[in-house]
Amino acid sequence: MAIRRAMSGRIMDRTAVVGARYMSSWWRSVQPAPKDPILGVTEAFLADQSPDKVNVGVGAYRDDNGKPVVLECVREAERRIAGNLNMEYLPMGGSVKMVEETLKLAYGENSELIKEKRIAAVQALSGTGACRLFADFQKRFCPDSQIYIPVPTWANHHNIWRDAQVSQKTYHYYHPESKGLDFAAMIDDIKNAPNGSFFLLHACAHNPTGVDPSEEQWREISHHIKAKGHFAFFDMAYQGFASGDPEKDAKAIRIFLEDGHHIGIAQSYAKNMGLYGQRVGCLSVLCEDKKQAVAVKSQLQQLARPMYSNPPVHGALIVSTILSDPDLKKQWLKEVKVMADRIIGMRTALRGNLEKLGSPLSWQHITNQIGMFCYSGLTPEQVDRLTNEFHIYMTRNGRISMAGVTTGNVKYLANAIHEVTK
C-alpha cells in the first residue's frame, strides 16, 4: 500500500524533469467534436426531469411499458453458455457456426449458394462493423469506385464510407411530397451512375424513412442495377423486425440473388435479437466460385486483424446457440413477431389518434411505412417545439422511433404532434 502510494504521485521533483517547460499540450488545437445527432438525443432525454417525457429518438426496441427487452430465447441461451465454455480467441473471421446460421437467414435455409460455398463471410461488429469492413474492402480492391448512398439514410453510413476513404455520391430515395419512394428519380440515378458503381440498399425497413420499395419496384431496381453492372450492397439491420417474418423481409435480397447479382450484405442482430450492446453481425460477399470466396474471406480477415484482431465471442455464442436449436429458434421467431406486431399496432394507433383529433394533414404514411421508424414529415422547428413544449425527444429530421411509442403515451404523442402541425 505504501509502495503503491509512493510510486504514483509526485515522486519526481518537477525541477529535475528534463523538458518540463515544454509541457504544453499537443492537443490544444483539437476542436470539440459535434455531438452525435442520434445518440445525443437520448442524452438529452435522460437529463430531462419531466414526468411526461417521451423518447422516440434512438432505434432500440421498447415494450409497451417503455422498457428495454431481453428476449427469453436470449436469456435461455445465456444460461446455457455461462460456465460451460472458455473465452479463447475466435478465429479472425469469427464464429463459424454463427456465420453459417446467419447466412441461412439472408440467403435462404437451403440456399445452393451456401452449399456451393460461394459466399465469403465473416463475423462483424454488428451492422456498423460489417459496413465498415466492406467499405475498407471496397477501398482496397476497387479503389476508384464510388458508393451511392440513398437520401436520406442512417447518418453513420456517410461517416463509415468517408473514414474508409471511398468516394461517395447520393441517389434519390425519399419523396417528401408523398412521404413515399421517389422511384422514378431513383431509377434515373441508377441509370446515370457510371457503370460499375456501388449502390447501398436498405434490404427492408429503410432507416430513417420506413419507406421500402414494393416487390415489383425491387425487381425493376434489380434489372437496372444489373444493366449498369453496378454492385449491390445491402444493409439489413431489421430482418424479421419489419414484417414480423424474416423470410418476407429478405425478399429484396432473394430477388437480386435470382437475378444473378454478386451482392454484399451487412447483417445485424442488434434489433431482431435485441443484442444491441453485444455487437453481433455478419458481413458476406457472394463470389463467382468457392475459390474466390476463400480469397475474399482471407482478405476480409486481413482488414479485421489490424482493427480488432478477432470479434467478440459472447454475442456470437448467443446467436449460434439460438439458431442451431430448433426449439430456441422457433421461440426467437415468435418473439420477433411480437416485437414487429407491437410496432405495427402502434403505427395504427398513432395514425388513428391523429385522425380522431381532426388533423388537417394526411397521416397515411405512418401505416404505409414499415419497420422501427416513421418519417413524420415534421420540420426541425416543429421537432424543437415538441421537445421544448412537450418533452418529446426525436431526431431533428422528424424521425420517430415507433419502438418508443406505447399505449400509455400514444395519445399524448398524437396530441403534441397535432398541436405543432395544426
What residues from 239 to 268 belong to the interface with other proteins (CB under 8 A)?
258-262
Q: Toward other proteins, which CB reaches closer, 191 or 330? A: 191
Q: Please state the closest distance from residue 419 (CB atom) to other proteins, in A.
A: 29
| Contact stretch for other proteins (CB under 8 A) within 180-188, 200-208, 378-386, 405-413 | 180-188
Distance CA 410, CA 378 (A): 17
Q: Toward other proteins, which CB reaches closer, 16 or 358? A: 16
Tell me: does residue 115 bind other proteins (CB under 8 A): no
| Cis peptide bond upstream of 34, omega within 30 | no
Catalytic residue check, 271 = yes
* Cβ–Cβ < 8 Å for 364, 352: no
Catalytic residue check, 235 = yes
Catalytic residue check, 356 = no
Q: Please state the closest distance from residue 389 (CB atom) to other proteins, in A.
A: 28
Residue of 236, 163, 161, 249 whose CA lies nearest to 198: 161
Q: Toward other proteins, which CB reaches closer, 91 or 408? A: 91
216 to 235: interface string for other proteins, x by CB under 8 A: xx-xx--x--xx---x----
Q: Please state the closest distance from residue 392 (CB atom) to other proteins, in A.
A: 20
Residue of 92, 94, 90 whose CA lies nearest to 123: 94
Tell me: does residue 306 bind other proteins (CB under 8 A): yes
Binder of other proteins out of 109, 143, 167, 184 (CB under 8 A): 184
* Numbers of helices and strands, H then E, in the chain: 17, 13
C-alpha cell at 332: 426467437
* Cβ–Cβ < 8 Å for 125, 156: no
| Contact stretch for other proteins (CB under 8 A) within 134-142, 240-248, 373-381, 407-415 | 134-142
* Cβ–Cβ < 8 Å for 216, 313: no
* Cβ–Cβ < 8 Å for 165, 142: no
What residues from 325 to 384 belong to the interface with other proteins (CB under 8 A)?
368
Cα distance from N-terminal residue to C-terminal residue, the chain: 68
Whose cell is 445465456? That residue is 78
Catalytic site residues?
Answer: 154, 235, 271
